[in-house]
Structure 1
């Protein structure tokens, strides 16, 4: 049995099928973890969502910002953008089943046996594993409950940008959402800067990748994440993080990491969108 972690799909089903074939993936024996953003921007969002859903217990996926965007639109609290490829899902006969399945996905998955933690974007420097798990559970309960629609109405926005245990209500949930699904950069004090999207070295003075903040509470974890296609593919060994979004949607690669061995497998992808536009 092998466990593979694969970066953001964003509706690119054909590269996924070719990569799984290259890995000789067998859902009866192997397991696959996805870093989120199953849908949007790519050509086959509906089919990708169905395929991952149909993998059943063989697959684990965490929610990404594009997944939440889809759920917000479906709840009439978001609007389709020019480059969104979500219309087929919204018009599908199995729409409600697919959206219900997606809304039930976690924000964080931790496997103590394998020693890996899976999120879409990152963790703020103040959060250790227990805090992150607790915050994920808070948001998951809302997404799966009667207040989901009200949450989507308050989901979008960049504030608050600092963690405070006293945060409450929609502000607390928005902060949690932004950490799990949008985080790239913050400053030494943990203030999130969500408008910076370029590679390390391009950011404004005083900002750093979330995993480079000195003394971050999650430093002892091995964290798998996607979301940041402009971050180098490299395995950042000294920080214990494993970036897996290698820009499939931009004509980069789709990457799988075998968790038991550390072996990476990459597949070159056709350019679906012009690189670096609409991140």
Structure 2
């Protein structure tokens, strides 16, 4: 039995199938952890969503920002943006089943036995693991209500940038979504900076990657995440591993074997950008 974390798919199903062949994935005994962003921008969003859903108990996924945007389009008057590839899902005959399955996925997952935590973007500096799990649970409950509109009302916006226990429920949900699914950098005093996307070497010392924050409360946890294709190679960064390696942009789809010490990286090339007939962006690009 083996457990593999898989980087952002974003609608790139064929590379996933190649990767599963390469690791000799056996759904009867092996487990897959997806870091979120199953859909959008890639050429097979509908097929990728169906494929992961149909893996059943052999796969586990957390929600990414693109997954949440799909849900917002399904439940509110939001519409896909130019370049999005969500219409095939929104117009699919099994749309309702897929949307219902997706909105019941969590924002974070921790496996005590394995000793790993799975999240799309990261855990903000102020939060230990218990706080992250508790705040995610509150947000997930709002998303799963029969009327999820309060969740989506809370979802959009960049403030508050700093966590506080006295925030309103709406602002707590917004901060939770932003931290767990959108965060890359934080300021020297721990505030979220959701605008900066450039590689670390191009950013001044006013901002830090969230995992480099010196007093990070989750610093003793092993965390696997995605969302940051401009970060660079998949490697251990203070017990955190980013496995978004830019598959959508013609780079690699990455699996991280979580049972090995140290964790082992397995990759396949990804031709998605050629299928979309777009130009590969610079290394600083990140979704």
> Contact conserved, 1:233 with 1:245, CA < 8 A, in 2?
no
- 2:159 counterpart of 1:159: yes
Preserved CA contact (<8 Å) 2:104 2:144: yes
Deviation for aligned residue 1:236: 2.4
State the TM-score, normalized to the length of structure 1: 0.97
In the alignment, what sits opposite 2:241? 242
Matched, 1:254 2:260: no
Query: CA offset at residue 204 of structure 1?
Result: 4.1
Q: 1:125–1:215: 8 Å Cα contact kept in structure 2?
A: yes
Deviation at 1:154, TM superposition (A): 3.2
1:43-192 maps to which residues of 2 (within 5 A)?
43-192=43-192
1:275 to 2:281 alignment: yes
Is the partner of 1:33 in helix, strand or coil? strand
* Residues 3-22 of structure 1 mapped to structure 2, 5 A cutoff: 3-22=3-22
Shift of 1:80: 1.1
SS at structure 1 position matched to 2:57: helix
Unaligned 5+ residue runs, structure 2?
none
Quick one: distance in 1 between partners of 2:244 and 2:36?
Answer: 10
Deviations 1:89-112 (A, max 9, x none): 000011000000000001111001
8 Å CA contact 1:188–1:214 kept in 2: the answer is no
Residue 152 of structure 1 and its aligned partner are, at CA, apart by 1.2
Aligned residue for 2:248, secondary structure, equals: coil
In the alignment of these two chains, the number of paired residues is 278
Could you tell me which residue of structure 1 aligns to residue 233 of structure 2?
233
Which shows bigger deviation, 143-152 or 97-106? 143-152
SS of aligned partner of 1:201? helix
Q: SS at 1:48's partner residue?
A: helix
Relative to the length of structure 2, the TM-score reads 0.94
- Runs of at least 5 residues in structure 1 that lack an aligned partner in the other structure: none
SS in 2 for 1:5: strand
8 A Cα contact 2:139 2:151, kept in partner: no
Distance of 1:245 and 1:187 partners within structure 2: 23
* TM-aligned CA deviation for residue 179 of structure 1: 0.4
Residue 203 of structure 1, CA deviation: 2.2
